[in-house]
């Protein structure tokens, strides 16, 4: 598929993505020296991100094993269904561990308006009552519409509302990359 | 691929293959919610679903009500027998009233074919046909397809025998259509007086149960004898006679269970007519799965449809 924005620029290449994953792993390890929290990735690209960070932690501290990873499909918790002109294909949430009393790290690829995280927190509450929920994102692009901030950030890069930002992972898209483009480029 | 949302669900025939696939796929995810501690999702919060049943129904009505409430929609049952319909209000007058109430989705059941589409044409709200006369019952067809897809992800070449009163059955019409669309071979068995002449050349017809079993179906789909629709016309001599010829008798059940065939029925069952009691505890009897899957399919349909944008 051709890139929708002709003059989008490469913000992170594969090495850059891997370095950002490493920074997230460092930050999570610093904050959780005793026991790993459980990881929950937000569909779609929060899931490969959570798995990458979990694998990175297991590689660095083999004695502790890897944190368990679940997935959250927030489609049914969005606040904009009435505005959608196409039907979303549901992927379903898969959380095979108890979140009651657990320390949870939510993962998403990009933190933007905060609405996805709001929906994810609502859905998570229907699975149980975690002791604490933290948020990890590969890229924080700013432009918040809700009072939500990330605890762990791979990279901060300011954008304007409507600017083009895409995260690609080898698992979902064939290769690792983060692309950004100016709003004016979209016609 | 993204599928545009649809205003109404009136019958199976106009649906694109991709629409059927998407609804079946999403229904599986809605069904997964039933195993969660909180079975309810906020998806349709603030939306209003109205059930408008001109014909009695317990199962379909409750199934839609449960589906709507698990999606957090508000549900109102517009009780027809106690409403002004008995005072002579026409269907379109009722629709105008409902429009003023600004509901988002109307679930319609009526004894006359075409009433759901009539309402859909005159309403901003989405309309789901929950059975109109002998014509269609699309959510039943979708849930039947979903139930078999849980057993066989691909229905190609599977043989499904539909037994009973095909003439008066909207279930038979919708369900045989979707099975055929999904690649299954479909045959019918029933009293000659209750088998319609169709132009569907893909529909095989049998005269006796023996002949039909010889065809080696994978599934036997029993239709309900609808006493309320038969009226006074003697389509067959008696229910006992029907049972002997077209029912799952003890003898036929032994053969069906021996061959491991699946059994389906849209409910409610007339025990001793379409089937004997023993069938109900048969592990390949899918009736209870059909009921549970009905809720998931109806959630997927409610999630899929979108009312027309308000012209005001």
- CATH number of residue A169's parent domain: 3.40.50.2020
**Does residue B233 sit in helix, strand or coil?**
coil
How many helical (H) and strand (E) elements, i.e. helices and strands, does chain A have?
Answer: 4, 9
* Separation of CA B125 from chain center: 21
Q: Which two tokens stand for residue B86?
A: 């008995």
Q: Is B60:B268 a contact under the CB 8 Å cutoff?
A: no
Domain for residue A111, yes or no? Answer: yes
Backbone angles phi, psi at B274, to 5 degrees: -75, -30
Domain count, chain A: 1
pLDDT at A1: 45
Q: B83 pLDDT exceeds 80?
A: no
Q: How many helices (H) and strands (E) does chain B have?
A: 11, 10
Segments forming the whole domain that contains residue A170: 15-185
- Show which residues on chain B lie within 8 Å of chain A, measured between beta carbons: 2-5, 22, 25-26, 28-30, 32-33, 36-38, 40-44, 47, 71, 303-304, 306
Considering only CB atoms, which chain A residues are within 8 Å of B5? 84-87
Question: Coil, strand or helix: which one is B258?
Answer: helix
The two structure tokens encoding residue B73: 């929609």
Is the predicted pLDDT of residue B170 greater than 50, yes or no? Answer: yes
Q: What local confidence, expressed as pLDDT, does residue A4 receive?
A: 52
Q: Is the separation of the CB atoms in A103 and A131 below 8 Å?
A: yes
| For range B116-123, the mean pLDDT | 95
Residue A47 lies in a domain: yes
A87 contact residues in B (CB cutoff 8 A)? 2-5, 22, 26, 303-304
What pLDDT is stored for residue B58 in this prediction?
Answer: 86
What percent of chain A clears pLDDT 90, i.e. is strictly above it? Answer: 87
pLDDT of residue B311: 47
pLDDT at B199: 65
Domains identified in chain B and CATH numbers: 17-137+292-304 (3.40.50.1370), 138-291 (3.40.50.1370)
The residue of chain A with its CA nearest to that of B299 is: A76
């Amino acid at each position: 598929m051709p890139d929708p924005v002709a003059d989008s620029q490469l913000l992170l290449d594969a090495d850059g993505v891997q370095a950002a994953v490493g920074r997230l792993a460092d930050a999570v390890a610093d904050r959780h020296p005793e026991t790993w929290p459980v990881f929950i990735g937000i569909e779609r690209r929060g899931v490969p991100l959570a798995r990458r960070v979990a694998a990175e932690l297991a590689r660095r501290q083999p004695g502790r094993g890897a944190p368990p990873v679940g997935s959250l499909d927030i489609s049914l918790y969005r606040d904009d269904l009435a505005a959608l002109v196409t039907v979303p294909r549901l992927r379903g949430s898969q959380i095979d561990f108890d979140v009651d009393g657990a320390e949870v790290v939510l993962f998403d690829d990009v933190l933007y308006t905060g609405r996805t995280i709001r929906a994810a927190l609502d859905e998570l509450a229907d699975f149980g009552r975690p002791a604490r929920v933290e948020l990890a994102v590969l890229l924080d692009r700013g432009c918040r519409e809700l009072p939500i901030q990330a605890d762990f950030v791979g990279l901060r890069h300011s954008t304007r509302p409507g600017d083009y930002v895409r995260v690609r992972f080898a698992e979902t898209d064939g290769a690792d990359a983060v692309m950004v483009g100016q709003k004016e480029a979209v016609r | 691929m993204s599928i545009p949302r649809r205003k109404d669900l009136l019958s199976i025939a106009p649906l694109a293959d991709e629409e059927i696939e998407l609804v079946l796929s999403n229904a599986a995810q809605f069904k997964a919610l039933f195993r969660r501690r909180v079975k309810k999702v906020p998806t349709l919060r603030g939306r209003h679903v109205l059930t408008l049943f001109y014909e009695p129904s317990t199962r379909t009505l409750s199934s839609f009500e449960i589906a709507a409430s698990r999606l957090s929609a508000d549900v109102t049952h517009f009780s027809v027998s106690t409403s002004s319909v008995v005072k002579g209000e026409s269907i379109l007058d009722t629709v105008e009233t409902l429009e003023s109430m600004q509901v988002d989705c109307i679930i319609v059941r009526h004894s006359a074919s075409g009433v759901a589409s009539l309402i859909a044409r005159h309403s901003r709200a989405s309309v789901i046909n929950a059975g109109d006369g002998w014509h269609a019952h699309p959510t039943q067809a979708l849930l039947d397809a979903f139930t078999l897809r849980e057993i066989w992800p691909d229905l190609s070449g599977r043989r499904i025998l539909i037994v009973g009163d095909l003439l008066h059955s909207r279930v038979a019409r919708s369900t045989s259509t979707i099975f055929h669309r999904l690649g299954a071979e479909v045959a019918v068995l029933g009293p000659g007086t209750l088998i319609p002449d169709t132009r569907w050349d893909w529909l095989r017809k049998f005269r006796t149960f023996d002949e039909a079993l010889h065809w080696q179906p994978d599934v036997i789909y029993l239709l309900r004898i609808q006493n309320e629709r038969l009226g006074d016309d003697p389509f067959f001599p008696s229910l006992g006679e029907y049972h002997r010829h077209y029912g799952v008798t003890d003898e036929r059940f032994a053969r069906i269970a021996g061959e491991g065939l699946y059994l389906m029925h849209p409910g409610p069952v007339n025990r001793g007519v379409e089937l004997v009691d023993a069938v109900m505890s048969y592990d390949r009897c899918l009736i209870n799965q059909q009921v549970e899957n009905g809720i998931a399919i109806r959630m997927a349909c409610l999630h899929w449809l979108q009312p027309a944008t308000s012209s005001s």
